[in-house]
Structure 1
């Protein structure tokens, strides 16, 4: 295992020589697409249930949301700083490996990959739930499975078509889902009634306990802030645009979250909101009358989830692609066409599809729910390693020539982001952490095999890919 003293030198700031060159189907992301990628991946389908999920705690949950937003922005700023230093595809994998060596880099890539394909399976299942509002298919297991697989493979095909199409789909999905979300968030303010807010602290107990309890639900709303950093190799002028896209995307998502939740809180009566299964639908019905809100929200949710699946499918292939180039993942993951790691996309979608089929045929939701909870832990491993890497760079003097004030500011941001990441781990719960550690231990076995092959190839005088 490599240590910090034997860690490989930081990669060059230019495009890797092994990176396939662009074609008419591969196009580098500019700032708008990179920002849309961040926003689209942070905001999936969860926002449509979020107000009802935290309503039992009262409006104190808005305070928890504000604290979490500050933590997410700190994390976003740290990823922006790291991307300026190491603007390569792979994000957390690149940062962890440069700071702490191969093993830490592998853990970042492995845990991020698990998070991506398990989350994709969960997103597809959620999308089917919204589709059932429009076209009742729940009575047919076969139709339900077919719909879930379609939600996974359509974004997969868009990815295989090339980054040019990934960016186009992401822009369209982001616009289509944010227009109605902003309409409800802003329009709801005109129907805002303070009497609907209910008690400030509805759950009883201490205020700190209520904030922590509501935060446990809200903590994972900001997963995805690293999206632009993971795809830095596909972003034009990554030193400049990755940081900007990360911060702009996080701020945009935070504005939609906070304003949307506040509007629903003030539009739907608290006692009704606590038991709501479609809070945005209820708010729409109150705002405009009629009962068409459920169908409208179902369409918005499906568009939102498709956009998230489109972005997460790309990200799910980027981390193993970067690790495979260094001999830490199987060589097949280095195959790249039209700017997209094709093998990584296919393997990820296939694994998510198998998990989805199992979910619908096993006859129980327990196993699937545990796997989804695992992602709440595995997603934080790359965050912790990335923020620790930034602290390492600052303390070791491996930083750009900047003023002491800038170094101090970067240090405070890194510590805040590290604390935020620890809070994410704590919020995942004991069962999720336990299961997540088991997943990481399986990765240790994979790591034992891949570097061994790399070392044997080196001793034989050939490259790891040979």
Structure 2
């Protein structure tokens, strides 16, 4: 069952009664949750999306792999301080107060349901390989909605079921992808790679732009931290699962993307709707290989949606327990899943999918991905800032210099990478992401106002730091 934070927002009022801790994820399941949420639609859809930038995007993958590993280390350290469900909401809240916690929770929640819609849209290209949809947007919308609502229904079975599905789906997709990523390297044709920088912009600009788009494929590195309340021995397991899951995903990503770039000619890859299927067809000849990888892709994305829907419900659950999100989000069903949060993200994802197939699916997937870059990086920035804050406070105490230096480097680089990725998302994505972010402010004002009208202001409101925050 999900477990509320052991730290409390400054003016959140009386803490809810503690609930029994019924853990659902061991190290294997937590690692599968991280790897399964990272390896979703990204590896299957993004090689074609970044092909217009050229092979500079391969360098961007290397940079992002390092950045994702740093974030994994960051979340592991923060989980030692606050080993509770909510993760990226809890860290800024404890350091900077309820408004920072709310902004992080709102931004992450927005990223989740936008990302879920993008994943469901990514299913369509691979289903089209299995069952030709002939460009019928209505039929494509039905496929995307089915991909969204099947894992939504599965989530109501409970967190143990989600963990089991993640292990099975991760194995099903990881093994075939690793085979393709290794065997495919023997069939690579150097002439297929195309130019290093095909964007027409400067190399640093193309690197930042492709990295911002590729960040979508690494979203999920924080999965174990967000679900820490479901993890056995979270102080140790969250960090280990985050690092192991990230390393496994990065290995598959780098090898797989190199194989796709070298197997599919650049001019074809730019317009490909199922780049991995095209790559397998180039290895095996005919179409049976593409059909097989398309089955793997559909299973992979459905498994990824299964985990992301759980995360999308858990973040607002933790905030709602503190009175910083609408109260219905705090409701938990018999299976330990916040049921209202699951319904909310599914409905909002449905709306976005509907807009996608009425406004033009050829460009909307890219727009959705870039919006998730901004809304996903805001909680990363705030979490890195929270770690820097706690480290600054800790410098007055007796600490090990080597450990302090390591944590400072990890937190500072994580902050810098997040800032760089936001800049690389482009003006349009930042503009739209800010609109999504600021749309939550009236919600916070209403909730805060109603609470303060009935309850006294907490003792820590003077400096905005919870009296329960850990030094």
What TM-score range do you get, normalising by the shorter chain? 0.7 to 0.9
Equivalent position of 2:225 in the other structure: 229
TM-score with structure 2 length normalisation?
A: 0.87
Equivalent position of 1:51 in the other structure: 47
Please state if 1:106 is matched with 2:102.
yes
Give the drift of 1:58: 3.9
Question: Relative to structure 1, is the Cα distance of residues 419 and 43 closer, same or farther in structure 2, using a 3 angstrom cutoff?
Answer: same
* Residue 409 (structure 1) aligned to one of 390, 393, 406: 406
Q: For the residues of structure 2 that align with 1:290 and 1:400, how far apart are their CA atoms?
A: 66
Please state if 1:431 is matched with 2:424.
no
* Residue 332 (structure 1) aligned to one of 311, 328, 331: 328
Alpha carbons 1:27, 1:339 under 8 Å: kept: no
Question: Relative to structure 1, is the Cα distance of residues 138 and 359 closer, same or farther in structure 2, using a 3 angstrom cutoff?
Answer: farther
Equivalent position of 1:310 in the other structure: 306
3-state SS, counterpart of residue 248 of structure 2: helix
Give the drift of 1:363: 7.1
Question: Relative to structure 1, is the Cα distance of residues 146 and 50 closer, same or farther in structure 2, using a 3 angstrom cutoff?
Answer: closer
Please state if 1:343 is matched with 2:350.
no
Superposed, 1:188-267 pairs within 5 Å as: 188-203=184-199, 206-267=202-263
* Residue 145 (structure 2) aligned to one of 127, 132, 149: 149
Please state if 1:375 is matched with 2:382.
no
* Residue 158 (structure 2) aligned to one of 149, 156, 162: 162
Alpha carbons 2:384, 2:415 under 8 Å: kept: yes
Q: For the residues of structure 2 that align with 1:357 and 1:36, how far apart are their CA atoms?
A: 31
Tell me how many residue pairs correspond in the alignment.
447
Give the drift of 1:145: 3.7
Give the drift of 1:203: 5.0
Alpha carbons 1:134, 1:298 under 8 Å: kept: yes
Q: Can you list the C-alpha shifts for 1:213-246, whole angstroms capped at 9, x where unaligned?
A: 4334323321221111000000111000001111
Alpha carbons 2:279, 2:290 under 8 Å: kept: no
Alpha carbons 1:220, 1:424 under 8 Å: kept: no
Q: For the residues of structure 2 that align with 1:231 and 1:275, how far apart are their CA atoms?
A: 37
* Residue 357 (structure 1) aligned to one of 354, 357, 369: 354
Give the drift of 1:192: 3.4
Question: Relative to structure 1, is the Cα distance of residues 128 and 189 closer, same or farther in structure 2, using a 3 angstrom cutoff?
Answer: closer
Please state if 1:78 is matched with 2:77.
no
Please state if 1:181 is matched with 2:177.
yes
Q: For the residues of structure 2 that align with 1:360 and 1:458, how far apart are their CA atoms?
A: 47
Question: Relative to structure 1, is the Cα distance of residues 145 and 212 closer, same or farther in structure 2, using a 3 angstrom cutoff?
Answer: closer
Question: Relative to structure 1, is the Cα distance of residues 163 and 62 closer, same or farther in structure 2, using a 3 angstrom cutoff?
Answer: same
Question: Relative to structure 1, is the Cα distance of residues 333 and 400 closer, same or farther in structure 2, using a 3 angstrom cutoff?
Answer: farther
Give the drift of 1:291: 1.6
Equivalent position of 2:467 in the other structure: none
Equivalent position of 1:135 in the other structure: 131
After the TM superposition, which of the residue ranges 135-144 and 116-125 deviates more from structure 2? Answer: 135-144
TM-score with structure 1 length normalisation?
A: 0.88
Q: Can you list the C-alpha shifts for 1:368-417, whole angstroms capped at 9, x where unaligned?
A: 86555432211111011000000000001189964111101100111100
* Residue 280 (structure 2) aligned to one of 257, 279, 284: 284
Equivalent position of 1:37 in the other structure: 33
Equivalent position of 2:451 in the other structure: 454
Question: Relative to structure 1, is the Cα distance of residues 254 and 328 closer, same or farther in structure 2, using a 3 angstrom cutoff?
Answer: same
Q: For the residues of structure 1 that align with 2:411 and 2:193, how far apart are their CA atoms?
A: 36
Q: For the residues of structure 2 that align with 1:234 and 1:432, how far apart are their CA atoms?
A: 33
* Residue 62 (structure 1) aligned to one of 31, 54, 58: 58
Please state if 1:96 is matched with 2:92.
yes
Gaps of 5+ in 2: 1-7, 458-471
Alpha carbons 2:35, 2:249 under 8 Å: kept: yes
Q: For the residues of structure 2 that align with 1:196 and 1:442, how far apart are their CA atoms?
A: 45
Give the drift of 1:95: 0.1
Question: Relative to structure 1, is the Cα distance of residues 425 and 136 closer, same or farther in structure 2, using a 3 angstrom cutoff?
Answer: same
Q: Can you list the C-alpha shifts for 1:25-52, whole angstroms capped at 9, x where unaligned?
A: x751011111111111112212123333
